[in-house]
Amino acid sequence: MDTLNIKHAYKEIFKSHDNPTLEKHIEKIIELDVYLPYSSTFFCITNTQNLSFEYISKNMKACLGIDSNDLKSLGMRYFWSRIHPDDLEIWLNALNALMTFTLKEISNEERTRASYTWNYRFKDANDNYVNIIQNTTPLEFDSENKPIIGLAHYTVLSHQIEMQVCASAKLLNANNEYETIYFNNFSQKLLSDNISNRERDIIRLLILNYSSKAIGESLGITANTVDTHRRNILRKLNIASTGELIGMLKMNKNLI
């Protein structure tokens, strides 16, 4: 897929007619960035209207070796050109599915509490492909409450980790825990289609070493209900124990 086709598809997904201001968001992000240590993560403020990066944190060059000035001046089209060719169309399908789900299934009031995650392979400054997991939280919306400005957080992982292109949407619940409301693997399935979103949340918390009681408190259900879900998960995946489940998925916990 060439860059022109990517641009057309991307703009169709994020089509909007408003022009929000970003000054307050950028000021707060710049203030925070000064104090953050160097790590394998960086973040940007993305503008899907003009396909630009309004701000790029200092860790970007440490993570990818790419000059942030290049990324800011050349915008998203330059970023797209560095995504692995085999992942481009899958990635666009994932974005389109997330946007469709958001507009159909998430109320206007809930969209401010939503968070979206997807992944792809990306070419760094040494022309090596690394894995990127991108988590985006909407900051501003257009007049139809369509997310158009986002705080995007990127985690860079080794190319040696085999990852399938997945996308998920989560909402903050009353206990300030994210609950999965949408999940799809756009490559080969990581988990069985029979695994429900509630079961995915339980798996995610099991990997974080939560007990059944703690999981129940986080998700607003009883410990007995959690244990029932655990048994159902093991049965559906045809495995013998929670330990086996955690061992199987621990390397892929960001995709649960």
Question: 10-residue block means of pLDDT along the chain (256 residues)?
Answer: 67 65 65 72 88 90 92 91 90 89 90 93 96 92 82 91 89 85 76 75 83 91 92 80 69 47
129 DSSP β-pair partners: 123
Q: Any idea which architecture 3-188 has in CATH?
A: 2-Layer Sandwich (3.30)
Residue boundaries of the structural domains of the chain: 3-188, 190-256
Whole-Å CA distances, 168 to 21, 178, 221, 252: 28, 11, 22, 13
The distance from CA 90 to its chain's CA centroid, rounded to whole angstroms, is 14
> Would you state the pLDDT for residue 78?
92
Sign of CA dihedral 193, 194, 197, 200: negative
156 DSSP β-pair partners: 132
Contact call for residues 218 and 210 (beta carbons, < 8 A):
yes
Which residue type occupies 183?
Answer: F
93/236 Cα distance (integer angstroms): 27
> How many other CB atoms are found less than 10 A from the CB of residue 209?
8
Q: What is the pTM of this model?
A: 0.69
Contact call for residues 1 and 89 (beta carbons, < 8 A):
yes
- In CATH, the number for domain 190-256 is 1.10.10.10
CA atoms within 13 A on the CB side of 38: 7
> Would you state the pLDDT for residue 20?
55
